[in-house]
Structure 1
Amino acid sequence: MLAAVVRSFDRPPRYEEFPTPRPDGDRVLVDVLAAGLHPRVRSGADGTHYTSEGRLPMVPGVDAVGRLPDGRRVYFVADDGAPGTFAGQALLDPRRAVALPEDADPVVVAAAANPAMSSWVALRRRIDFRPGQSVLVLGATGNAGQMAVQIARHLGAGRIVAAGRDPRRLDLLTALGATDLVSLAEDPDSPASAAAADERLGAAAADVDVVIDYTWGAPAQRAIPAIVTRRADRARPLHWIQIGSTAGPEIALPSAALRAADLRVLGSGQGSVTTAGIVAELPSLIEQLSVGTLTVDARPRPLAEVEKAWKEPVEPGSRTVFVP
């Protein structure tokens, strides 16, 4: 079969021949209709994801919309030990799949399911989120952050604070459900500019119940004390759900931040949520994607152009989807 193949972690995948995987056990071979180029896919393809085992060659791709031998279309999450979904065909475990409604757009589902799943699972599986609670989305101007704003609204958040650096993308989030916008843009050479950004975030998000954090790194390191020190009731739980690390993999966390407030830092991702738990959330999420409750800017590209597309900059808020 033809597939995107990674033979070096230092180079983009190339479109070439690769052995077709063989069905085994309960797994069946499906035709791939659409597969999204998510940050998780990129980190797997360059060997930096925390689940990477360093094995090459490999076919990237963690999920896809596929067609079963009987013609039915499904969205599925690929097995960790199987070749990825950036290929003409892929192995599907029925326990990791959900049928698509007839009117579902495969490209939209492939673009949105992975980034939407991050906050969907975080709010439904990692904490006891209740309608009326308030949410801060840190890193809201990216694709997953944009989804998180919509999902928080759908799940009944009473207030949604969206914080990000891209002013143009930030302004669009009000229409998607954000009640407060906070610009994190600053002059890197001006301490006063950084302090002003911290002040804006602390004032807007002091009393939120949940933080969905896609940045980690310096933004989270500064945001934690900025928010904690301004809380009206520091004994009120603040769930800080760490999902992405676009700004860096580490922070320095002052011990006082943990003692001075009921700050509960936890992660949400592979390992902290079981595969069964993630798959259990798929039907309800796919339903919302199918009816248009959640929107995404999907950009389809032929899989044959994978090497070229891999190198091209991606507009914030959009998602490349490879199709046959």
Structure 2
Amino acid sequence: MKAAVVTSFDHPPRYTDIGEPVPEMPGEMLVDVLAAGLHHITRGRASGAHYSSTGRPPLVAGVDGVGRGTDGKLRYFVQAPDQLGTMADRTVIELRRSIELPGDCDPVALAAAMNPAMASWLALRCRVPFQEVRNVLILGATGSSGSMAVQVARHLGAVQVIAAGRDEHKLARLRELGATDTVTLGDARLGALASDVDVVLDFVWGELAVRIMETVIRQRKDRGAPFTWIHIGSMAGDMAPIPGALLRAANIEIVGSGHGSVSDRAILGELPALARQIASGTFRIDAQGTPLSSVEQAWRTPAGTGARIVFTP
């Protein structure tokens, strides 16, 4: 069968032949892969750079996908770092790490949206006691996960959603997705706009996040009012040198959200509800179906420059 095989962390996966996978443990199932998204984490694991990377080349790329099992059911599945990847004609999944999908859903849309939507969905559902009346600031809102976060936050009941990013053209479009305010990351108005937020979804981190944290706290009307800063991504750097004075100056809680800080059980418990919303058309999804045979060429497309690439064998 064919698969996208990582032979070196320095090069894109190659479309090549590999042996047929065979379920070997109870609870495993062979699935025909119908769609697998090219996500940020997919690129990170394939380069050995993501914090969850454990394997060494050669390995099959892909962290999640949509496929049909030997029982005939359509499933969304997530692979552990030590499992066979999803960018292949077939793969072996653990049933406990999969959920059944409506038979009439669009596999490409599901594969495109589940991973980027999951970032904010898990953050708001599992890392903070999110209530209906909330004000949310999203840093890095012009990325695919950030733009999905705008839609997820509004769906979960946020009253104010402030979208902050670098790309002014993309920011303007986020109002159509539910953003109540948009601002560039370097705009002096950001602190005032976000002075009453309850939650920050941070996809940027690094020194930039610290500067924004400082301006938000400085202009906060009630520094005793609690707010939660959730670190999700590191587009601006992995290290954020936070002065101790900032932690003393406001009732701020800084937490992370991702694999590890959210348990596998919690993730799997949230996936069915998220999948139902995606399948029912709640969120606007920008997906580009691409033959798996074009993996090397598609992999070289800079991340975040267009629709989410979804490989279809």
Scaled by the length of structure 2, the TM-score of the pair is 0.97
- Please point out which of 201, 212, 225 is paired with 1:223: 212
- For 1:189, the equivalent position in structure 2 comes to none
Q: Which runs of 4+ in 1 moved over 3 A?
A: 314-317
How far did residue 108 of structure 1 move?
0.3
Displacement of 1:121 after TM fit? Answer: 0.6
* Amino acid paired to 2:225: R
Q: Which residue of structure 1 lines up, in the alignment, with residue 68 of structure 2?
A: 67
What is the CA deviation profile of residues 82-104 of structure 1, one whole-angstrom value per residue up to 9, with x for unaligned ones?
Answer: 11101111111111111111221
- Write out aligned runs for 1:70-219 (5 A): 70-184=71-185, 194=186, 197=187, 199-219=188-208
Q: Do the aligned residues in 2 keep the contact of 1:143 with 1:316 (CA within 8 Å)?
A: no
Aligned partner of 1:187 in structure 2 is none
In the alignment, the residues of structure 1 paired with residue 53 and residue 300 of structure 2 have an alpha-carbon distance, to the nearest angstrom, of: 21
Tell me how far apart the structure 2 counterparts of residues 201 and 100 of structure 1 sit (CA, whole Å): 40
Q: 1:188: which partner in 2? A: none
Q: Name the CA distance, whole Å, in 2 between partners of 1:317 and 1:295.
A: 14
Does the CA contact (< 8 Å) of 2:217 and 2:223 recur in 1? Answer: yes
Give the percent of matched residue pairs that are identical in Structure 1 and Structure 2.
52
Superimposed CA distance per residue, residues 174-219 of structure 1 (whole angstroms, 9 cap, x where no aligned partner): 11111011112xxxxxxxxx5xx2x221011111000001111232
Change over 3 Å in CA distance of 1:315–1:79 after alignment to 2: closer
- Of 309-318 and 260-269, more deviation after overlay is shown by 309-318
Larger mean CA deviation between 50-59 and 39-48 belongs to 50-59
The answer to whether 1:33 aligns with 2:34 is: yes
Structure 2 residue aligned with 1:8:
8
Q: Give the letter for the 1:176 counterpart.
A: L
Query: Cα 1:270–1:165, aligned 2, differ >3 Å: closer, same or farther?
Result: same
- Of residues 289, 297, 305, the one that matches 1:300 is 289
Structure-to-structure mapping, 1:249-288, within 5 angstroms: 249-288=238-277
> What are the ranges of 5 or more consecutive residues in structure 2 without an aligned counterpart?
none
Once the 2 structures are TM-superposed, how far is the Cα of residue 28 of structure 1 from its aligned partner?
0.7
In 2, distance between residues paired with 1:98 and 1:122?
Answer: 20
Give 1:314 shift: 4.5
**If the length of structure 1 is used for normalisation, what is the TM-score?**
0.94
Q: How many residues align?
A: 312
Give the letter aligned to residue 19 of structure 1.
Answer: G
Question: Are the counterparts in 2 of residues 108 and 298 from structure 1 also a CA contact under 8 Å?
Answer: yes
Q: Residue type of the partner of 1:263?
A: I
| Structure 1 unpaired stretches of 5+ | 185-193
Q: In structure 2, how many angstroms separate the alpha carbons of the residues matched to 1:52 and 1:108?
A: 26
| Deviation, structure 1 residue 31 | 0.4
Alignment partner of 1:290 is 2:284: no
CA contact (8 A) 1:79 1:92 kept: no
Q: CA deviation at 1:71?
A: 1.9
Q: Using the alignment, how far apart are the partners of 2:190 and 2:306 within structure 1?
A: 22
- 2: distance between equivalents of 1:183 and 1:140? 10
> How far apart, in 1, do the equivalents of 2:114 and 2:304 lie?
18
Q: How big is the shift at 1:275?
A: 0.8
Shift of 1:143: 0.6
The CA distance in 1 between the partners of 2:85 and 2:15, in whole Å, is 13
SS in 1 for 2:76: strand
Separation (CA, whole Å) in 2 of partners of 1:102 and 1:57: 34
Distance (Å, rounded) in 2 between the aligned partners of 1:314 and 1:261: 36
Please give the per-residue CA displacement for 1:250-275, whole angstroms capped at 9, x wherever unaligned. Answer: 11111111001011110000100111
